Structure 1
Amino acid sequence: MDQDRPKPDLIVFDCDGVLVDSELLSCRCLSEVLAQFGVQLTVERALELFLGRSAKAVEEHYRDLGQVLPQDFLPCLKARVLETFAGALQPIPGVGLVLSELKTPCCVASSSDLDRVSLSLDVTGLARHFGDRLYTAQMVRHGKPAPDLFLHAAAKMLADPARTLVIEDSVSGVRAGKAAGMTVWGFVGGGHYRDRDGRAILSAAGADRVFGRMSDFWEA
């Protein structure tokens, strides 16, 4: 694909931080729920460690440190996130217009579970653009930064990975897309990049292009 004027057969959108401005909300929820179980983690550190990764990755991280989180950690986290999203989640500005104007087939590939993705899209009015074309880390063995999820989405959409464009906001997502042999555009318009150099972060991760406003989606 020509980076300046791509003509992909499929566009795969991450959800959190690309379609919905959720990353700060979810990291705050994670910090608060961990605190309930006696684990201190700042929102800033949560962004560094877990941006673009699944809740399972949180458990694995602490297990590797010799700290097993209680069995009810994940249900508590999920409940807190869903409650917070239902009352406060907003779409990324301009993304609805981009999706309305797309002529290329598109889908979602997210590290979040299906319930959270579905709620996020329903709350923000974006669900109609995707229907049941929602693919999550629950559906594959290895989540991002492994390529499994993006390859699964392309296979389900009958698309060639080499002709697939991924829109991602995280290092793990960019690496996953590149490992899948796809073109990856980094998006840094979410609130979690307000005080961080997202362009440098995602460029260093291998993004083919980085942009900060959905109104610039097709601009070189």
Structure 2
Amino acid sequence: MTLSLFDQFMSPVFLGIPLIIIALVVPWLFLPTPSGRWLDNRLLTLETWFIGHFTSQLFAPINQPGHKWALMLTSLMIYLISMNMLGLLPYTFTPTTQLSMNLGLAVPLWLATVLIGLRNQPTAALGHLLPEGTPAPLIPILIIIETISLFIRPLALGVRLTANLTAGHLLMQLIAAAAFVLLSIMPTVAFLTTIVLFLLTILEVAVAMIQAYVFVLLMSLYLQENV
């Protein structure tokens, strides 16, 4: 029974073709493209306002050289939100429940921020490994601890996104299965369980958006330390 619950997170294959490729491409098809008209439609206007507001808030504390990442990080957040939201629909697959994909997004971006810091300001970048005012006997230990924490950052990004979405999907499946079983035995309890499932679904919609925002926000904080 435990294995069947996790089968929903396996990458589906149809006629030997992994459907994760389609799941990665589909979110871009739902994003409206800008037009040459003077007045855009409501959806495009709302999207433009959201992107502008998010970008201004995300990059306000970052120095001017870091603003080159605005297009990349904003696109990444919209992409993650789209995949997380599409994964809540029935008979769909959520690519962000795969740890390999999340690490594939986190590791290159994190490594790019570290390399930028080592190239532009090597003294300040290496200075993060040793807090100011550290007693001499603790210097080797703190350098090792800070180095380990530095290399754990991309792993924490990927695991956080994977664990939150996986836990939410599992909980929704368990509550839905309980409501289905209780429907013929205790209809009142099944009705209450369905209400809980509805509230959990709303919570999962919020989690899908918040986790995409947290992923990009932490990446911007890593960028802020190195520019």
Normalised by the length of structure 1, the TM-score is 0.26
Who wins on radius of gyration, i.e. which is larger?
Answer: 2
More strand by proportion, 1 or 2?
A: 1
TM-score (norm 2): 0.25
Hey, which of these two has a bigger chunk of helix by percent? 2
